[in-house]
Amino acid sequence: MKPAAAHGLLLSSLCLALCCRGGARGSPTSDSHEWKKLIMVHHWPVTVCKEVEKDCRDPPDYWTIHGLWPDRAEECNGSWPFHFEEIKDLLPEMKVYWPDVIHPLNHSHFWKHEWEKHGTCAAQLDALNSQKKYFGGSLGLYEKLELNSILQKLGIKPSLNYYQISDIKDALASMYGVVPKVQCLPPKQGEEVQTIGQIELCFTKDLRLRNCTEPGELGESGRAWGPGLEVCEDGPAFYPPPPQSTR
């Protein structure tokens, strides 16, 4: 299938994916928490472990969900606490696709954090206005985006050889039809290159794919989304294999 056709198909199925999940609750909007785009943040578990300098025993060998984040808004409703009960039907998928990579024995603290920091802002949208809809909708977007199989198809696999960041961005842009954002850990002392950590794909408020940065818009160079992660510099980058396959 040509990329443009794949893009059209993707858009309609992404909307469908959101419409079919979750139950509703009133919208907790606040004018001081305005945002324009939603960012679907995928992270590479091997890099998450490296970032926090934790020797994770068995990190997933696929891209998992970090979160679904509105831009420019955080912690929009402190009086809407996380209730695990509301998403317990989603537990099997959550554990696989949205695990706490750092604390794999207790995921719910991470989910609580994501809900309170980002979900309460995303919940301004009718399609995401409950915990079940926010987490279920995020899972739906993740499944429809199929980042893991798209990277596979593009031949972009963890490797001891380096990739050019522009090659990865261009390849993803041709598949999705929009400009993604790729975040890296800058090289630590003694390292030659940056390490790929996050791939972000962005959505409009009506849940259509859009560019993460518009042509001519300045990238958010230097802006850290997590400790140590920054927009990747153009140039070579390491996409680290999971520990067992580095042998």
Q: What is the binding site for ligand 5GP (CB under 6 A)?
A: 43, 48, 52, 66-67, 100-103, 110, 114, 117, 225-227
Q: Residue written as tokens 């509105």?
A: 70
Catalytic residue among 43, 51, 86, 114: 114
Handedness of CA 41, 44, 50, 53 (dihedral sign): positive
Distance CA 160, CA 102 (A): 23
Question: Shortest Cβ distance from residue 227 to ligand 5GP (Å)?
Answer: 5
* Pure H helices in the chain: 3-19, 45-51, 91-97, 108-114, 120-122, 131-145, 147-153, 165-176
Distances (CA, A) of 76 to 22, 63, 117, 124, 176: 20, 27, 7, 9, 30
In the bound state with ligand 5GP, the residue whose beta carbon lies nearer, of 110 and 176, is 110
Angle formed at CA 94 by CA 225 and CA 131, multiple of 5 degrees: 75
Question: Shortest Cβ distance from residue 22 to ligand 5GP (Å)?
Answer: 21
Question: Shortest Cβ distance from residue 13 to ligand 5GP (Å)?
Answer: 26
In the bound state with ligand 5GP, the residue whose beta carbon lies nearer, of 86 and 114, is 114
Question: Shortest Cβ distance from residue 98 to ligand 5GP (Å)?
Answer: 9
DSSP for 199-224?
Answer: EEEEE-TTS-EE-SS-TTSPP-TT--
In the bound state with ligand 5GP, the residue whose beta carbon lies nearer, of 101 and 121, is 101
Question: Shortest Cβ distance from residue 238 to ligand 5GP (Å)?
Answer: 18
In the bound state with ligand 5GP, the residue whose beta carbon lies nearer, of 106 and 161, is 106
Catalytic residue among 43, 51, 116, 118: 118
66 is known as an active-site residue: yes
Q: Which helix (H) or strand (E) holds 29?
A: none
In the bound state with ligand 5GP, the residue whose beta carbon lies nearer, of 102 and 173, is 102
Catalytic residue among 42, 43, 51, 66: 66
The residue type at 120: T
Pairing of β 209-210 and β 230-231: unpaired
Residues marked as catalytic: 66, 114, 118
